[in-house]
Structure 1
């Protein structure tokens, strides 16, 4: 058994990278960061447009959902990162935070210290924003946050089209108000992806107290006398932590590992032959995710980045990026979007848009042979709740991921409203010079039932899973508001799984904020030791 570490962090993703870097600011603290995936050496991890390769296999475990019983048994590809940096290394780099009301509702649920005014300083602390330095944004932090450097004219036409429907342009949807269409800020620095690993780990790789192991697949957390004392890897190696084990494997990985460790719904674990350490049915429950719907139009000319799919033009795009840091390679391809309302009475925007500057960008999404544009929408506050459970006791088996999409009728209704609104936007006069025709859903989709069947075939995850290790003050909460595990000492969960309710936007920036805030709480809880 290997000793000598104060903290072992399981998962080198968005939150885990932050915690490892922050804790090792104290040279007296020994931190071991374990990442089951590999290093981020491949150039696709660093080029903004590399996102297009990520949902098609690079850097992903290749997992899928169980058949979705409220969507005609559709099975979804469910991309989960398999690389240092986690989701921040393979996502579309969109920097959003949700709505201030999301966090205030967490506080109202009893999670003191998690209101918007409480978390905002941690967002600012993380940022190195290339545009803003004000109440909402900061400069000088580890994480690069930038405006897009390669927008296209069709983006401005999209803003004008939205304005025809009364949707204003918003210069900063992470600022005072979320409402409106916008260029998203991106987790980039100097036209390169700024993943959590690149922002927090790479600059500190020479710290003698920061130990990072990739390809380190954890089988279980070791619990002795009600206390987490270390971990066991799949090869049988045991590693000990004198202060805490910190679980940062994400909303799928964290509940999966807890259950492999005998912590979860006792009856199900017993049936799989796993020794029960703690009966906690709420581990892996409360899964929430945003279901992404899309409208695809064929364009009337070379108005999007689809034209660079041709081999000779892709070479040109690469050269343009090398010499100018501009062009399609510098684009996340989804850097334009915004927030609006499916329900006019909603307390804040309940729809999010992503304008894709091409088609077939993500796995399972149709491509237009002669080029196109994609406008995605997702309903931001789903009522449906799913689960993450084990398929077997074998740690190499993918888990049973059930987002339970559209279980609640309101989710279905609001999702359809969002899809109809994307069609309306793309049909407005300012976009007519760019668009030849709508291809999906197309003119044959008319009734709500038509839309439902279309969604069952043409939709995807927004890659925003949350809530499976829910924070709260009730008996069923998995962690308390300081993210300490309820029922096991010296164990903490730090990632998006702790969200009581998924935030109203992309979740990656929130995971980084959670890592920043947790680092301070860990230091406080351990006094002078950290």
Structure 2
């Protein structure tokens, strides 16, 4: 394609949706560009192989966030997929739409068309929910979503302990009634990871109006005045778009590319010798993530999933999955969770929990398991904000990423409350005879100061960066408008988690798919479905 209608940068959740939906119109030509290579790997396809995917540096951007000033300069690993399917090829496959009030909150900021009732049709359109269609769930979309089997006995113990602690158990936490304990829903279909490439892109690749190029690095957007005319590749190739350039290169990737192209805070760009196309101080700001910690308990080996993961168990897991696409190999292990309030004053759930019937630690850079169980707890709506800046004008250099985790006192208090809430959960009668010693943070840490000290040493993230190209009605408040067009420029959109004006309560893949579904209709002149 010499001059396609659209050049889409990034073949992750947003890019695959846009490429598939736009080329449903045979008169529309799309060129999709992806920095990474093929997703056809057993470790990607097998849900249980998540640790191997995480540790494979060839599948990611290998970025670190920090030094984090409120965590004593700690550096935090950030996972972001550099492969066909993007982060949907390396994530934990957990499907959470977010809270209905998240989207109503977007609309309350003046972002018309982004309230819960506005976006629900797009959530329905994209999914094929294993339990069938309903007024709130989709039954024939490309993305397979299923409730986890949660066969290990500890999952039911966990669910029962939540009920004993007074938490609700909604029938479907993705239908608007989110708060309480739940069995996880996952993007796993036919026993394999159902990523963006499998769901959206592959069925569309036979179309003559869609071209895909992998292994190419876009280093700059080309402008004709204030209009985005195309992109420049690292080998010097210039590609032109007759209608628009769409940045679907993740939150970090999209912000970085805008900055490299001269769209961002003018003083920072000039200091790096980058010609300014548009002075937009919000590019790279408003950076959010979901910071969290793991609470861990010891338990007898035979009571935990570790008993099934010896050499014989691993061989059985692999063989059963290869032959039948079932068994433990078809599980992501994160099969039960919850959305809860850290305190009664919270307007709605602000803490996400993910339970594992085993305990994990990193030894010499590798994930190992030990007999026990653990609970990941992250702040769903943190108050702290960070930033992303270029270190240099060299596209090969990773940007500086600082989330400012726990900068806000309320975030510190919420993490302390989270630890106390989790301890209360594991103190319930359901755990009698199963619960061993508290391994992390250890039971002797009881005061707020002691608990906070441990939290600051143990904080990680759920790999959910968002907001660096936030949506806002006015350019003085954000980077893109309600249709994801970059304020002040023509022919340029950003589509992905970066446009979220406020991070959602849950994992980000589902709302990212939704955003792309909605914008695909905008581009096709279909304002509502």
The TM-score normalised by the length of structure 2 is 0.96
User: Which residue number corresponds to residue 31 of structure 1?
Assistant: 30
Q: Structure 2, unaligned stretches of length 5 or more?
A: none
Moved more, 140-149 or 49-58: 49-58
User: Which residue number corresponds to residue 289 of structure 2?
Assistant: 289
> Aligned partners of 2:205 and 2:363: how far apart in 1?
34
User: Which residue number corresponds to residue 503 of structure 1?
Assistant: 504
Is the contact between residue 51 and residue 367 of structure 2 (CA under 8 Å) also seen in structure 1? Answer: no
> Aligned partners of 2:3 and 2:32: how far apart in 1?
13
> Aligned partners of 1:19 and 1:402: how far apart in 2?
30
Moved more, 160-169 or 283-292: 160-169
Structure 1 residues 52, 362: CA separation in 2 closer, same or farther (over 3 Å shift)? Answer: farther
User: Which residue number corresponds to residue 491 of structure 2?
Assistant: 490
> Aligned partners of 2:338 and 2:93: how far apart in 1?
15
> Aligned partners of 1:454 and 1:364: how far apart in 2?
21
Structure 1 residues 455, 363: CA separation in 2 closer, same or farther (over 3 Å shift)? Answer: farther
Is the contact between residue 359 and residue 366 of structure 1 (CA under 8 Å) also seen in structure 2? Answer: no
> Aligned partners of 1:378 and 1:363: how far apart in 2?
23
SS of equivalent to 1:360:
strand
Is the contact between residue 282 and residue 469 of structure 1 (CA under 8 Å) also seen in structure 2? Answer: yes
User: Which residue number corresponds to residue 117 of structure 1?
Assistant: 117
User: Which residue number corresponds to residue 130 of structure 1?
Assistant: 130
The structural deviation recorded for 1:525 is: 8.2
The structural deviation recorded for 1:368 is: 7.4
Moved more, 29-38 or 117-126: 29-38
User: Which residue number corresponds to residue 521 of structure 1?
Assistant: 522
> Aligned partners of 1:386 and 1:65: how far apart in 2?
10
User: Which residue number corresponds to residue 181 of structure 1?
Assistant: 181
> Aligned partners of 1:407 and 1:170: how far apart in 2?
33
Q: Structure 1, unaligned stretches of length 5 or more?
A: none
User: Cα deviation per residue 1:132-183 (whole Å; 9 max; x = unaligned)?
Assistant: 4111101110000011135311000001111121012223110141111111
User: Which residue number corresponds to residue 305 of structure 2?
Assistant: 305
The structural deviation recorded for 1:48 is: 1.0
> Aligned partners of 2:448 and 2:368: how far apart in 1?
25
SS of equivalent to 2:220:
strand
> Aligned partners of 1:455 and 1:25: how far apart in 2?
49
> Aligned partners of 1:434 and 1:499: how far apart in 2?
42
User: Cα deviation per residue 1:326-364 (whole Å; 9 max; x = unaligned)?
Assistant: 332111111210111102122211111001232227799
What RMSD over aligned residues (CA atoms) do the two structures have, in Å? 1.8
> Aligned partners of 2:330 and 2:116: how far apart in 1?
32
> Aligned partners of 2:306 and 2:29: how far apart in 1?
48
SS of equivalent to 1:419:
helix
Moved more, 324-333 or 231-240: 324-333
> Aligned partners of 2:215 and 2:434: how far apart in 1?
46
> Aligned partners of 2:455 and 2:438: how far apart in 1?
16
Structure 1 residues 268, 516: CA separation in 2 closer, same or farther (over 3 Å shift)? Answer: same
User: Which residue number corresponds to residue 321 of structure 1?
Assistant: 321
SS of equivalent to 1:517:
helix
Structure 1 residues 52, 230: CA separation in 2 closer, same or farther (over 3 Å shift)? Answer: same
The structural deviation recorded for 1:435 is: 2.7
Is the contact between residue 55 and residue 366 of structure 2 (CA under 8 Å) also seen in structure 1? Answer: no
> Aligned partners of 2:205 and 2:362: how far apart in 1?
33
User: Which residue number corresponds to residue 46 of structure 2?
Assistant: 47
The TM-score normalised by the length of structure 1 is 0.96
2:146 pairs with 1:154? no
Is the contact between residue 469 and residue 498 of structure 1 (CA under 8 Å) also seen in structure 2? Answer: yes
Is the contact between residue 94 and residue 187 of structure 1 (CA under 8 Å) also seen in structure 2? Answer: yes
User: Which residue number corresponds to residue 66 of structure 2?
Assistant: 66
The number of aligned residues is 525
Is the contact between residue 300 and residue 433 of structure 1 (CA under 8 Å) also seen in structure 2? Answer: no
2:44 pairs with 1:20? no
The structural deviation recorded for 1:370 is: 4.1
2:277 pairs with 1:277? yes
Structure 1 residues 365, 305: CA separation in 2 closer, same or farther (over 3 Å shift)? Answer: farther
User: Which residue number corresponds to residue 339 of structure 2?
Assistant: 339
User: Which residue number corresponds to residue 84 of structure 1?
Assistant: 84
SS of equivalent to 1:94:
coil
The structural deviation recorded for 1:307 is: 3.3
Structure 1 residues 6, 170: CA separation in 2 closer, same or farther (over 3 Å shift)? Answer: same
User: Cα deviation per residue 1:224-275 (whole Å; 9 max; x = unaligned)?
Assistant: 1110000000111000000100001111111001001111111111111111
Structure 1 residues 182, 138: CA separation in 2 closer, same or farther (over 3 Å shift)? Answer: same
> Aligned partners of 1:49 and 1:388: how far apart in 2?
33
Is the contact between residue 295 and residue 376 of structure 2 (CA under 8 Å) also seen in structure 1? Answer: yes
